[in-house]
C-alpha cells in the first residue's frame, strides 16, 4: 500500500527483484557485490578533486592579474612573467602603481625577498626594474586597474592558502594509508620514478578499485593509454583514446614526462618511440603503458620499485 512492499519469504523477494530489476533475475552472474570503500579513500578523492578546482581557479586569477598589469604596469611582469608567486603579490600590495614602486625603499624590497626566500633576484635588480620608465597611460585606466588589484590580490592569497591546506591534507591521508597493511599499494606506487603526491593521490582517488583488482587493461583504458583501433574492410587505423578519465589522463601524462626525465629505461624507450616517428604524446603514453605493466607485476608480488633489479634482469 502506498508504494511500500512487505517481504515475507524468499519467493516474495524473488518476485520483487524480477518486477523491479529484471536483469538481477536473468543475468545475476553479470552483477557483483560492491564493498564500501575506505573512508580515507573517499576523503582523498574529494580533497584531490578540490585541489584541482583550486588550481584552475588560481590559474584564472593569475591570468587576470597579468592582464591588469599589462595595462599600465609591466615592470612586475619582468620579474615574474606568470604573476603566480606570493612574493609578487606582496610587492603589489606595497606598491600597486609605478609611482609607488619607484618610491619603494631598498630595505623594504630586501626584507620582502628574504621573507619569501627569493634568491634568484637581488634587491638591487628588483629596484632597477621597478624604476624603469613606465608606460604613458591616462589616469583613468590606472585608477580602474588599481581598484581591480585591491579585489584580486586577497582572492589570490586565499586560493593559494586553500591549495596549501589541501596539499597538507593529501599528504596526511597518503601517510595514513601507507601505514596500514591493507594499503601497501600506496608505498609501491610512490616508489616509482615520476610518481609524487599528485599522481599518487589521483591514481588512488580515481582508480582505487582497478588497482585493488590488478586490472591492467581496465587501468590503461581509464588512463587513456590504450589506443582505439578502427577497421573497415582493408583499412585499419589506430588512434588515441578520448573516452577516459580526464584526471587520470593528466596524471598519466605528468607521470610519463617525469619518468622520462629521471628514469634511464623510460628515457631510452621514449627516444626509441620518437625515432620511430611517433609524436611526443604517443611516446609518453607508450612509456606509461610499460610502467603500468611493471606496476601490476609489483602490486601482485608486493615489491617496491628497484631500478637496479631491472638492469640486472635486462642484462641476464
Phi (first) and psi of residue 308, to 5 degrees: -65, -40
pLDDT band at 43 (very low <50, low <70, confident <90, very high): very high
The rounded distance, in Å, linking the Cα atoms of 287 and 268 is 10
pLDDT band at 237 (very low <50, low <70, confident <90, very high): confident
Contact between 132 and 75 (Cβ < 8 Å): yes
Q: Residue 157 is placed in which grid cell?
A: 592569497
Residue 250's region, left for phi above 0, alpha for psi from -120 to 50, else beta, is alpha
| Mean pLDDT of the chain, nearest integer | 87
Q: What pLDDT score was predicted for residue 193?
A: 84
Most confident of 39-53, 185-199, 300-314: 39-53
Contact between 299 and 214 (Cβ < 8 Å): yes
Strand extents, DSSP E, 161-293: 228-232, 235-239
Residues forming a β-bridge with 39: none
Q: What pLDDT score was predicted for residue 315?
A: 41
Region 293-299: mean pLDDT is: 92
Q: What is the pTM of this model?
A: 0.79
The DSSP output letter for 97 is S
Least confident residue range of 107-111, 129-133, 227-231: 227-231
Could you count the other beta carbons within 10 Å of the beta carbon of residue 26? 9
The rounded distance, in Å, linking the Cα atoms of 291 and 32 is 29
Could you count the other beta carbons within 10 Å of the beta carbon of residue 291? 24
pLDDT band at 155 (very low <50, low <70, confident <90, very high): very high
188, burial (CB in 10 Å: exposed 0-12, middle 13-18, buried 19+): buried
* Tens digits of residue pLDDT in 9-23: 555 555 555 555 566
Inform me whether the pLDDT recorded for 228 exceeds 80: yes
Least confident residue range of 18-32, 110-124, 185-199, 202-216: 18-32
The rounded distance, in Å, linking the Cα atoms of 23 and 19 is 10
Phi (first) and psi of residue 85, to 5 degrees: -115, 135
Amino acid at each position: 500500500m502506498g508504494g511500500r512492499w512487505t517481504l515475507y519469504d524468499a519467493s516474495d523477494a524473488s518476485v520483487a527483484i524480477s518486477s523491479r530489476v529484471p536483469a538481477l533475475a536473468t543475468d545475476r552472474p553479470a552483477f557483483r557485490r560492491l564493498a564500501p570503500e575506505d573512508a580515507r579513500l573517499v576523503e582523498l578523492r574529494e580533497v584531490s578533486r578540490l585541489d584541482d578546482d583550486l588550481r584552475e581557479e588560481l590559474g584564472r586569477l593569475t591570468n587576470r592579474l597579468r592582464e591588469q598589469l599589462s595595462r599600465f604596469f609591466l615592470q612586475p611582469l619582468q620579474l615574474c612573467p606568470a604573476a603566480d608567486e606570493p612574493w609578487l603579490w606582496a610587492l603589489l600590495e606595497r606598491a600597486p602603481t609605478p609611482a609607488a614602486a619607484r618610491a619603494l625603499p631598498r630595505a623594504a624590497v630586501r626584507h620582502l625577498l628574504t621573507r619569501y626566500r627569493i634568491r634568484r633576484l637581488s634587491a638591487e635588480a628588483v629596484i632597477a626594474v621597478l624604476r624603469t620608465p613606465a608606460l604613458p597611460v591616462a589616469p583613468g585606466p590606472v585608477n580602474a586597474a588599481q581598484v581591480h588589484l585591491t579585489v584580486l590580490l586577497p582572492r589570490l592569497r586565499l586560493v593559494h592558502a586553500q591549495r596549501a591546506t589541501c596539499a597538507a591534507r593529501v599528504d596526511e591521508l597518503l601517510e595514513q594509508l601507507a601505514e596500514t597493511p591493507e594499503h601497501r599499494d600506496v608505498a609501491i606506487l610512490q616508489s616509482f620514478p615520476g610518481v609524487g603526491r599528485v599522481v599518487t593521490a589521483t591514481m588512488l582517488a580515481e582508480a582505487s578499485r582497478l588497482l585493488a583488482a590488478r586490472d591492467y587493461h581496465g587501468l590503461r583504458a581509464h588512463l587513456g593509454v590504450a589506443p582505439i583501433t578502427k577497421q573497415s574492410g582493408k583499412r585499419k587505423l589506430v588512434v588515441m583514446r578520448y573516452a577516459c578519465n580526464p584526471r587520470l589522463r593528466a596524471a598519466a601524462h605528468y607521470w610519463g614526462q617525469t619518468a622520462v626525465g629521471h628514469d634511464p629505461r623510460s628515457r631510452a624507450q621514449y627516444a626509441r618511440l620518437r625515432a620511430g616517428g611517433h609524436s611526443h604524446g604517443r611516446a609518453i603514453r607508450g612509456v606509461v603503458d610499460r610502467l603500468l605493466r611493471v606496476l601490476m607485476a609489483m602490486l601482485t608480488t608486493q615489491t617496491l620499485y628497484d631500478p637496479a633489479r631491472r638492469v640486472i634482469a635486462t642484462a641476464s
